[in-house]
Amino acid sequence: MNAHTRRRIRRTIRRLPGDALKLAVVLCFVFPFYWMICTAFKPYSEAISVPVTFWPRTFSLEGIASILSARSVDVMQYLMNSVVITFGTIALQMVIMIPAAYAFARFEFFGKNICFALVLLALMIPGQITYITVYLTMADRNLLDTLWPQILPFGANAFGIFLLRQGFKQIPEEIIESAQLDSASQVQIVMQIMVPMCRSVLLTIMLFSFVSSWNNYFWPLVMTNSEKVRPLTMMLVRVLDSELGTRWNEIMAANLLIVLPVLGVYVFTSGRIIKAFTYNGIK
Amino acid sequence: MMGEKSVRRLAAAGAVLGLLLMLAGALLIKLSSLSALPDHALLRGVLAGRKVILILGAALTGASVYAGNIAVQGRRRLSGFFPYLLILPAMIFLVLFVLYPILNVIYMSFFKGSVLNPTKSFVGLKNYMALANKSAFIISVRNTFFYAVFFVSLVVLFALLMAVWLFDDRKLNKFAQTAIFTPHLIATVSCAFIWRWIMDFNDYGLLNTVLGIFGVAPVPWLESSKTAMWAIIIMNVWKNIGYYALILIAAMKSIPAEIYEAAILDNASRTKRFFRITLPMISPQLFVTLILLTIGSFNVFDSVNAMTQGGPGSSTEVIARFIYLFAFGNANSLGQGCAAAVFLMSIQLVLTAAYFRLLARRVHYQ
């Protein structure tokens, strides 16, 4: 054994207590999700048995089956609504965001700063202040209890406009000028040069929108009443209120439906998501 | 010929005046639909001209923007009014769903009304006065402050600890960072329900089982008014540590290594390096983190609604739930809900301003 290996082994041993503690801390953050999955695959009798089992003694699909069988709730409807709301929001945001970011990044016009200040204001003002008026507006237009009040209020994604503007600004002027010499139209410049060059920023924004839209709880709660238009996040309370008492294995099975898509996306894009969420343009 | 700068200034003044006129016109149109208005010659005259005022304002704004835009673009890119077309959809959405709602909530807070008739009668400041005497409101304010103080300080403390602890570039740290960030991505309701299940007071509750191994007597987490707010704080701290730790790690990564190397040459201890180098260098991000956390903590709603519904008793009622219950719940208490919303917004403004006054000069900018 040479000196180098010996040093490495010694270092590993010295680090062992710290690393073990680190793993224990990591466990605190991950275990609740494991516990959700574990409970979802237990039969009800085992979920509430003592002593607690950390691995399903009898592996059972009882919870998942009863959620999917639509005995008490129509899961497919909830799932459809979530999907439509999420992708509708992302699509609407893109249509609004791309031209706005292009204008803020590339043009000089009177009132630009005021308009941009409005974008920044939207970043600061929480939904808890604005939803009362939005509710009344939607009521006026007979749009309450539809999918619209869950999509439209998020149409202008202030954070996205902000981020995409930075991205557009970084594209060298020469590229656009040479395209203009080739008599490319404004639409062509945006769609064929700028958008493809900012693919990664756009993907980041989309991931961000996906997570916040999929997880939205407050707006559906306020704006809707009926199961027909409510997203998955509204389903948990319905499962909880089942007449059979608190069936925790069913609740966790339902929860799995909300959590798994996001966890799945995270597993594949963790680096990008972390970058997207920790980017806040400070400094 | 006037200079470009003076035209711009004139146009800006004109646009502001025009927007104010438009606002006044819109307000008058809103007011004219009220039934009980004091009969006054001047008011009647102004009301009669409400549409004229609105149109005048719009015309003045339009003309100012037109003149101002020509002045701005004068010698530069001649894009004309194309950029306005590009930002129009975004502006419509922002005005409709951010700017107008803020103004309208302030407006409605001076009225007594319901969802069906938001501005039934003008009551001045009575809604605000009523709030000051309402025990449900006082309790929710107190609970929200309690939550905010402990939530913010615990998240900042643990996020800093984690950031220092998981800073080095190692595989284990990368893995740990990815792991502790996970809860931030998951819906608050989902996390709330998972923790409700973990904190179950029955013998099969996981948390009490684990604590029992260490000899701790079972805690009635969500069942007791003494611990329910702590349960919510624990859940939210757990959910947010990872996110803020990662923000602080990103900030620490941008500190030049030479500074640390110089400090090590000077035999500065680890603690000294942390307090004299790391902390001052990340102070801008720490400052922003503190403001975002504080503003966010006063909006707490999802977790409370999903975990305790404000109970037991009213031990976890918070301002956001008060607004929700009063704006839409009781008959004719919409105005009070709006007043509470304005109050919430004011707290957040005042606290942000206070942070700037007290802390901004301690923030070190490179």
CATH of the domain at B234: 1.10.3720.10
Q: Closest residue of B to A282, CA-based? A: B285
Element spanning B291, H or E? helix B283-298
Predicted confidence (pLDDT) at residue B365 exceeds the cutoff of 70: no
Q: How many domains, chain B? A: 2
The predicted pLDDT at position B38 comes to 66
What single DSSP character describes residue B314? T
What value does the mean pLDDT take over residues A173-192? Answer: 85
Query: Which chain B residues are Cβ-neighbours of A248 within 8 angstroms?
Result: 197, 200
pLDDT of residue A156 exceeding 90, the answer is yes
pLDDT more than 70, % of chain B: 96
Q: Please report the residues numbered 20 through 49 in chain A whose beta carbons come closer than 8 angstroms to any beta carbon of chain B.
A: 22-23, 25-26, 28-30, 32-33, 35-36, 39, 47-49
Structure tokens at B50: 């409400």
B135: containing domain: 131-362
Spatial contact of B328 and B240, defined as CB atoms under 8 Å apart: no
Whether the pLDDT of residue B114 is over 60: the answer is yes
User: With contacts defined as CB-CB under 8 Å, which chain A residues touch B241?
Assistant: 29
Asked if B18 is an interface residue toward chain A (Cβ–Cβ < 8 A), one would say no
Average pLDDT, chain A: 87
Interface of A with B in 153-182 (CB under 8 A): 153, 155-156, 158, 161
- Same domain assignment for residues B62 and B169: no
Q: What's the CA gap between B269 and A171, in Å, rounded?
A: 45
Assign B238 to helix, strand or coil: helix
CA distances from A51 to A261, B209, B276 (A): 32, 9, 50
Backbone angles phi, psi at B112, to 5 degrees: -100, 130
- How far CA B153 is from CA of A259, A278, B294, in Å, comes to 28, 20, 9
Beta bridge partners of B111: B122
- Give the whole-angstrom CA distance, residue B276 versus residue A220: 48
| Residue that terminates a domain, selected from B80, B98, B121 | B80
Residues B177 and B41 in one domain: no
Which of B65, B85, B348 is opposite residue A110, by nearest beta carbon? B65
Classify residue B199: in a domain, yes or no.
yes
**Cα dist. A161→A2, A157, A165, B100 in Å?**
58, 6, 6, 20
In residues, how long is chain B?
366
Residues of chain B with C-beta less than 8 angstroms from the C-beta of A20? none
Q: List CB contacts of B61: < 8 A, sequence separation 6 or more.
A: B14, B15, B18, B19, B22
Would you tell me which residues 106-125 of chain A have a C-beta closer than 8 angstroms to some C-beta of chain B?
107-112, 115, 118-119, 121-122, 124-125
For the segment(s) A72-241, the CATH number from 3.40.50.1360, 1.10.3720.10, 1.25.40.10, 1.20.1090.10 is 1.10.3720.10
Bridge partners (DSSP) of residue B121 are B112
In a shared domain, residues B162 and B229 = yes
How does residue B142 score in pLDDT terms, banded at 50, 70 and 90? Answer: very high
pLDDT at A188: 87
CB distance A129–B242 less than 8 Å? no
DSSP single-letter state for residue B76: S
Cβ separation B76–A130 shorter than 8 A: no
Q: Do B206 and A35 touch (CB under 8 A)?
A: yes
- Would you say residue B316 lies in a domain? yes
Q: Do A158 and B295 touch (CB under 8 A)?
A: no
- The answer for residues whose C-beta is within 8 angstroms of residue B83's C-beta and 6 or more apart is A103, A107, A109, A112
Contact indicator for B232, B191 with CB cutoff of 8 Å = no
**Is residue A265 helix, strand or coil?**
helix
Q: Count Cβ neighbours within 10 Å for each residue of B255-275 and write b for 16 or more, e otherwise.
A: eeeeeeeebeeeebeeeebee
Q: Do A233 and B179 touch (CB under 8 A)?
A: no
DSSP A227: G
B199 and B329, same domain (yes or no): yes
A280 band by pLDDT with thresholds 50, 70 and 90:
low
Instruction: Identify whether residues B151 and B266 lie together within a single domain.
Output: yes
What percent of chain A lies above the pLDDT cut of 90?
38
Compute φ and ψ for A101, nearest 5 degrees: -65, -40
Q: Distance between CA atoms of A178 and A196, rounded to whole angstroms?
A: 17
What phi and psi, each to the nearest 5 degrees, are found at residue B309? 55, 30
Residue B206 pLDDT level (bands cut at 50, 70, 90): confident
Check pLDDT > 80 for residue B138: yes
- The CA angle A67-A71-A75, to the nearest 5 degrees, is 45
CA distances to B16, B121, B305 from B24, in Å: 12, 20, 39
Calculate the average pLDDT of chain B. 87
Q: Do the chains contact at B97 and A155, CB–CB below 8 Å?
A: yes
Region class of B39: left (phi > 0), else alpha (psi between -120 and 50), else beta? beta
B39 burial level (CB within 10 Å; 0-12, 13-18, 19+):
exposed
Q: Which residues in chain A are classed under CATH 1.10.3720.10?
A: 72-241
Look at residue A150 in the predicted model and tell me its pLDDT.
94
Q: What's the rounded Cα separation, in Å, for the pair B235 and B63?
A: 55
Residues composing chain A: 283
Q: Are residues B44 and B149 in the same domain?
A: no
Nearest in space to A93 (alpha carbons), one of A258, A208, A189: A208
pLDDT computed for residue B337 by the predictor: 92
